[in-house]
Amino acid sequence: MSSTSLAFSGSTFGKLVKRHKVGNGGKSPPQNVKFRSVKAELSTEKVRIAILGASGYTGAELTRLLVNHPFADIALMTADRKAGQSFGSVFPHLDAQDLPNLVAIADADFSNVDAVFCCLPHGTTQDIIKGLPEHLKIIDLSADFRLQDTAVYKEAYGQDHRAPELQKTAEYGLTEIKREAIRKARLVANPGCYPTSIQLPLIPLFKAGLLELKNIIIDAKSGVSGAGRSPKEPLLYAELREGIYSYGITNHRHVYEIEQGLSEVLNSNVTVSFTPHLMPMSRGMQSTIYVEMVPGVNVDDVYNTLKSSYTDEYFVKLLKKGDVPHTNHVSGSNYCKMNVFPDRIPGRAIIVSVIDNLVKGASGQALQNFNVMFGFPETTGLLYQPLFP
C-alpha cells in the first residue's frame, strides 16, 4: 500500500481511521447502514488498485470514481489493444489525472497491488483471475463468476467455465442484499446492470411473501453504453437514432442471473419473462416490472415493504407515492430509484426501477463492494449527485 497522511488499524487492511462525513449537512450516515466505525489517527496507507480492461466504458467510469476516492491509489491499468498509450489519450475527459500508462496484461506487475477491478469481456476473465496472486482481493465486473452453476453458465454463454473451483468461492455482489458475505470475500462477482435494477425491488418483496411466483413480466430499457465500446453495426448512430431496438428476446444472458437471485430467496425455481431494449441515449436504465400479488396483499403492502427494506440504505431510494422514477434523475450517480403503482388489472402491481447502467449497474456498485471489502464507509468515492439536465 502506498503511504498517505492516514493510517489503517485492525481488519484485513485495518479499519478506516478518519471519520467520514456524508450528506445531510456533514452528518454521518445512520449506524444501522452497517458502516464500520472509524476513529481519527495521524497516518494511513492507500489501497493500491489495478484496473484490468481499463479502455472500456466500465473501466473509464471506474477510474472517474476512483480518482476521488481518498483511500485508493490507481497503480496499474491494462488494455491490450491500447498498451503503451496514456489513459488520457484514450479517454480525454480524464486527461487531467495523473494515471499510469496502459500496459498489456501479460506485462502487468501485481507485486505492488492490493486489489483488482476486472473490466474484461465476458469469457476472458476466468483465465486471468485464476492466475492472479492469492493476496489480491478481486471485484469482477464481467459475468464470468455471477452464475453459481457452471452448467447454467455454459447454457447462457455458450462455453465451458474454465475456473469452476474458483467459481465456488465467488460471492455475488448485490451490495444491499449480500453485504455481510461481500465483507468476507476475496472474489466478488459484480452484478449485471439489468439484474441490479430488477433484483433490488423484487428480492425484498419475495422475502416478505407478497408476490406470486408466476406471471412476472419485465420490460427493461438501457442506454447504448450498456452494449460496450467495441464498434457494432446495430449501435451506429444511423441505425439506432430515433428508435428502440429490442434484443435477446426470450434468452438474454441476464435472465439466468435474475432467476438465480429470485430462486435463491425463495428456495424454489422462478421463471420470468424478460425483454431488454436499447434506447437512443448514452446511459441510463429503466426496468418496468409487472407482478401478481398474493391474495390479500395490496399495493400499499408492497410500497411499505420496500420502504422498510430500504429506509436506511443510502443508495436505494423509494420515491413518494405517485412519483415516477426518471433515468435522468440518477444519471452519473450510484442511486437506484424506484416506486410501485397499482395495475388496472386487479391483483397486479407495476414496479418502476431506474439506475445509471454504468454506475449502480457496473462501476459504482463495484466501488461500493470494494468499500465493503476493505472496511470503508460505503459512500466513499460515490457521493456524486445525479447530473441534470
Q: Annotated catalytic, 193? A: yes
Residue 96 has pLDDT above 70, yes or no: yes
**pLDDT single digits (tens) 131-163:** 999 999 999 999 999 999 999 999 999 999 999
Backbone angles phi, psi at 149, to 5 degrees: -95, 115
| Confidence at residue 1, expressed as pLDDT on a 0 to 100 scale | 66
Residues 284-294, mean pLDDT to the nearest whole number: 98
Domain regions of the chain by residue span: 47-190+363-374, 194-355
What lies within 8 Å, CB to CB, of 138 at 6+ separation is: 115, 116, 117, 118, 129, 132, 186, 187, 188
Residues 202-214, mean pLDDT to the nearest whole number: 97
pLDDT band of residue 371 (cuts 50, 70, 90) is: very high
Residues 166-191, mean pLDDT to the nearest whole number: 98
Considering only CA atoms, which of 239, 135, 137, 233 is closest in space to residue 188? Answer: 137
Show the DSSP H helices in 56-192 as ranges.
57-66, 87-90, 125-130, 150-157, 164-167, 175-184
Task: Tell me the CATH number of domain 194-355, given options 3.30.360.10, 3.30.230.80, 3.30.365.10, 3.90.960.10.
Answer: 3.30.360.10
Hey, what's the cell of 20? 467520514
| Confidence at residue 237, expressed as pLDDT on a 0 to 100 scale | 79
Q: Residues 118, 119, 193, 336: which is the catalytic one?
A: 193
- DSSP per-residue letters across 59-93: HHHHHHHHTT-TTEEEEEEE-GGGTTS-HHHHSGG
| Confidence at residue 240, expressed as pLDDT on a 0 to 100 scale | 80
Element of type H or E holding 336: strand 336-342
| Confidence at residue 167, expressed as pLDDT on a 0 to 100 scale | 95
Residues of the chain above pLDDT 90, percent: 81
Residue 198 to residue 289: CA distance in whole angstroms: 8
Q: Which residue has the cell 480518482?
A: 67
Residue 235 has pLDDT above 80, yes or no: no
Residue 41 has pLDDT above 50, yes or no: no
Where b means 16+ CB within 10 Å and e means fewer, 67-100 reads bebebbbbbbbbbbebeeeebeebbeeeeeeebe
Instruction: Please state whether the predicted TM-score (pTM) of the whole model is above 0.85.
Output: yes
Residue 39 has pLDDT above 50, yes or no: no
What lies within 8 Å, CB to CB, of 288 at 6+ separation is: 218, 219, 220, 350, 351, 352
Residue 227 has pLDDT above 70, yes or no: yes
Average pLDDT, the chain: 89
Q: Are 70 and 97 in contact, with CB atoms under 8 Å apart?
A: no
Residue 273 to residue 262: CA distance in whole angstroms: 13
Residues 290-298, mean pLDDT to the nearest whole number: 98
Residue 140 β-bridge partners: 118, 189
Considering only CA atoms, which of 35, 104, 56 is closest in space to residue 76? Answer: 104
Query: Which fold would CATH assign to domain 47-190+363-374?
Result: Rossmann fold (3.40.50)
**pLDDT single digits (tens) 46-90:** 999 999 999 999 999 999 999 999 999 999 999 999 999 999 999
| Confidence at residue 47, expressed as pLDDT on a 0 to 100 scale | 98
Between residues 228 and 125, which one has the greater pLDDT? 125
Q: Are 315 and 215 in contact, with CB atoms under 8 Å apart?
A: no
Element of type H or E holding 299: helix 299-310
Residue 31 has pLDDT above 70, yes or no: no
| Confidence at residue 2, expressed as pLDDT on a 0 to 100 scale | 56
Between residues 386 and 17, which one has the greater pLDDT? 386
| Confidence at residue 381, expressed as pLDDT on a 0 to 100 scale | 98
| Confidence at residue 43, expressed as pLDDT on a 0 to 100 scale | 38
